[in-house]
């Protein structure tokens, strides 16, 4: 059962996957609220949520900034379907599509900010995924990663039961961002293992 739950965190599928993403919408609220207190957004901005799951973080941002536009992308069809259902009320300000962070279905220079919460654990290659995010960000665009698990030792219970799940330390996240071309890296930590990592991409 635990393995089934974890594989649905990695790539939600079917009815059980829908239950998992809806539970994550609630469960990740504290992390998301912490992140949105640390980083301010602008009503004029266009934001992308990578690995958007059930769309909970998109909704929180749309509610907090009444004219911001927030798109979502996720490689799980179940996540995309759930996000679309959950964001019905806001459909004029969001577009949620299926796609892999390794090959995002967006033009270069499309977004002011990219958020990605609780997703990088599952990416095939974090640096290549971050490079792809850099591509779709505009000049001076910002990436915001937020994670509840950053201690590989403590998280072994989960990683041993979920193939392809990797836990990264804040220093490793910083290294990935630098390798992908981001600058002005800032790391914020809380509750011993939470981390928000942000960086800016300069293209000019
Ligand atoms: C643990 S859930 C987090 C969902 C949401 N961000 C939240 O905070 O509730 C991880 C999500 O990342 C998505 N994901 C994992 N790897 C991905 C990839 N390579 N490209 C796009 N989405 C991915 C999964 O399908 C899943 O919906």
Listing DSSP states for 91-126 in one string gives GGG--EEE-BTTB-SS-TT-EEEEEEES-GGG-S-H
Does the pLDDT of residue 78 top 90, yes or no?
A: yes
Buried b (16+ CB within 10 A) or exposed e, 94-115: bebeebbbeebebeeebbbbbb
Ligand 1, residues at Cβ distance < 6 Å: 9, 11-12, 24-25, 28, 51-53, 56-57, 74-76, 79, 100-102, 117-119, 122-123
pLDDT tier, 20 (very low <50, low <70, confident <90, very high otherwise): very high
For residue 114, what pLDDT is reported? 98
pLDDT tens for 138-170 read 999 999 999 999 999 999 999 999 999 999 999
Does the pLDDT of residue 123 top 90, yes or no?
A: yes
Q: Whose CA is nearest to atom 14 of ligand 1?
A: 51
CATH of the domain at 23: 3.40.50.150
Which residue segment(s) compose the domain that 91 sits in? Answer: 2-201
Edge-to-edge order in the sheet of strand 183-190: 96-98, 69-74, 46-50, 111-117, 137-147, 194-201, 183-190
* Cα(204) to centroid(ligand 1), Å: 31
Does the pLDDT of residue 6 top 90, yes or no?
A: no
- Per the structure, the count of domains in the chain is 1
Task: Please check whether residue 110 is in contact with residue 48, taking contact to mean a CB–CB distance below 8 angstroms.
Answer: yes
For residue 1, what pLDDT is reported? 83
On average, the pLDDT of the chain sits at: 97
Mean pLDDT computed over 164-192: 97
Which ligand 1 atom is the nearest neighbour of the CA of 56?
A: 9
Does the pLDDT of residue 92 top 90, yes or no?
A: yes
Task: Please check whether residue 71 is in contact with residue 49, taking contact to mean a CB–CB distance below 8 angstroms.
Answer: yes
* Cα(37) to centroid(ligand 1), Å: 22
**Rounded CA gap, 204 and 138, in Å?**
10
């Amino acid at each position: 059962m635990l393995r089934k739950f974890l594989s649905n965190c990695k790539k939600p599928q079917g009815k059980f996957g829908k239950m998992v993403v809806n539970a994550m919408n609630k469960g990740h609220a504290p992390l998301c609220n912490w992140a949105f207190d640390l980083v301010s957004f602008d009503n004029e901005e266009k934001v992308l949520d990578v690995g958007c799951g059930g769309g909970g973080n998109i909704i929180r941002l749309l509610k907090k900034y009444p004219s911001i536009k927030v798109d979502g992308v996720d490689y799980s069809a179940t996540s995309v379907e759930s996000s679309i259902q959950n964001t019905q009320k806001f459909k004029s300000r969001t577009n949620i599509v299926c796609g892999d962070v390794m090959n995002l279905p967006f033009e270069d220079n499309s977004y002011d900010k990219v958020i990605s919460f609780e997703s990088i654990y599952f990416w095939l290659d974090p640096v290549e995924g971050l490079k792809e995010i850099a591509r779709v960000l505009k000049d001076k665009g910002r990436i915001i990663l937020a994670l509840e698990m950053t201690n590989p030792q403590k998280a072994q219970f989960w990683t041993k039961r979920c193939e392809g799940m990797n836990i990264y330390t804040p220093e490793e996240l910083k290294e990935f961002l630098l390798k992908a071309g981001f600058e002005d890296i800032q790391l914020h930590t809380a509750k011993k293992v939470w981390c928000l990592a942000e960086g800016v991409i300069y293209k000019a």
